[in-house]
Amino acid sequence: MKTKRHGAVAGLIAAGALLLTACGSDNNAPAGGSTTSGNASGVAVECGGKSKLNAEGSSAQKNAIDTFVQAYQQKCAGSDLAYNASGSGAGVKNFLAGQVDFGGSDSPLSESKGEVAKAAERCKGNPAWNLPLVFGPVAIGYKLDGVTDLTLTGEVAAKIFNGTVKKWNDPAIKALNGSATLPDKDIKVVYRSDESGTTDNFQLYLKAASKGAWTQGEGKTFKGGVGEGKEKSAGVAQAVGSIDGAVTYVELSFAQENKLSIAKIDTGSGAVALNDESVGKAIDGATIKGTGNDLVLDLNSIYGTTTAGAYPLLLATYEIVCSAGYDADTAKAVKAFLTVAATDGQAGLKEAGYAPLPKAFQDKLLTAIKAIA
């Protein structure tokens, strides 16, 4: 997910759209006031409570949060949220310490690290919920002169990124691409040299989808043992854009900005292009392994999907909130912000490189948000 350049633009786009939908609204409460209004999804928003929320965490969702804030300010006059994109670790740490109203994280709270218990203590004896609010598609982006339509499977992708498949005309790639003319050219892997949630999710995808071809492990450090490392998403995308025969994994917006070709992925039901519809199908098919309104995802249900038309390579980020235990003003504002984010706030996400929520998943989130006490 793009974290630097599209935030302001996406925010303006979202704000412009929201201005149109808000015409005639009676939502003109002063700061700290309370009003109820509908939104584009027909869901009531109970504005009011704490006038300025504080949140911190994942940089991967920063531009999405910026878009949500624009929508929140428009929907609930006088309300605001400050988000510090300090990284998932800091977001969880400061949420547990009660320093922020909610945390943003690329992964849910860890029971083995004691985070679940500490969150219950922070929430005055109530459990914290992990709400997956922001999804960003990850592209397998490449530059190969004369080839702009390419299909890969999880297995072949794993073999490319661990160096088993070394040439673009390797029989394993040719078998997936019919009559396409593939050059006898070296594959040049470019990977993230810095620790990255994108790397972690990509390696989890390879582990789940490669039929055992990926044995290198997982984590935020690339473990494929092949290629050249570059820092940040911008670095890998720019490098691939300047090298014929190069390939990387990168958030969609960076691939688009650098004019990279994007591989289709065949999960067993035919080649699937990366688009809103295919990403939505993958999100819709996600299994929740958390209980009740704790919406922790089973990522294998996304990464290992065989659903026709579903694009499986996504990064999900969570908002970590108290299910109860806030003071009344904070609870009201948290619920208002999250409700706007899950509804009107979706309008500007595509321009910022994220995936808008499909209706069925949106409903699950709204049910959980409404239950915050």
Instruction: Indicate if the pLDDT at residue 294 is higher than 80.
Output: yes
CB atoms within 10 A of CB 329: 14
Share of the chain above pLDDT 90, in %: 79
Residue whose C-alpha is closest to residue 312's, from 351, 276, 342, 267: 267
In this predicted structure, which of 11-15, 91-95, 213-217 has the lowest mean pLDDT?
Answer: 11-15
Specify the length of the chain in residues: 373
Please give the model's pTM, rounded to 2 decimal places: 0.80
pLDDT tens sequence across 163-172 = 999 999 999 9
Residue 136 near residue 201, CB atoms below 8 Å: no
Mean pLDDT of the 129-152 span:
97
User: What average pLDDT is seen over the chain?
Assistant: 89
Domains in the chain (CATH in brackets) are: 7-136+316-371 (3.40.190.10), 137-278 (3.40.190.10)
pLDDT tens sequence across 192-205 = 999 888 898 999 99
Instruction: Indicate if the pLDDT at residue 3 is higher than 60.
Output: no
Phi, psi torsion values for 315, nearest 5 degrees: -120, 125
**In whole angstroms, what is the distance from residue 261 CA to residue 223 CA?**
24
pLDDT tens sequence across 5-57 = 443 333 333 333 333 333 333 333 434 445 665 555 679 999 999 999 999 99
pLDDT tens sequence across 362-372 = 999 999 999 99
Instruction: Indicate if the pLDDT at residue 333 is higher than 80.
Output: yes
Residue 304 near residue 344, CB atoms below 8 Å: no
The one-letter amino acid code at 282 reads: A
**pLDDT at residue number 197:** 83
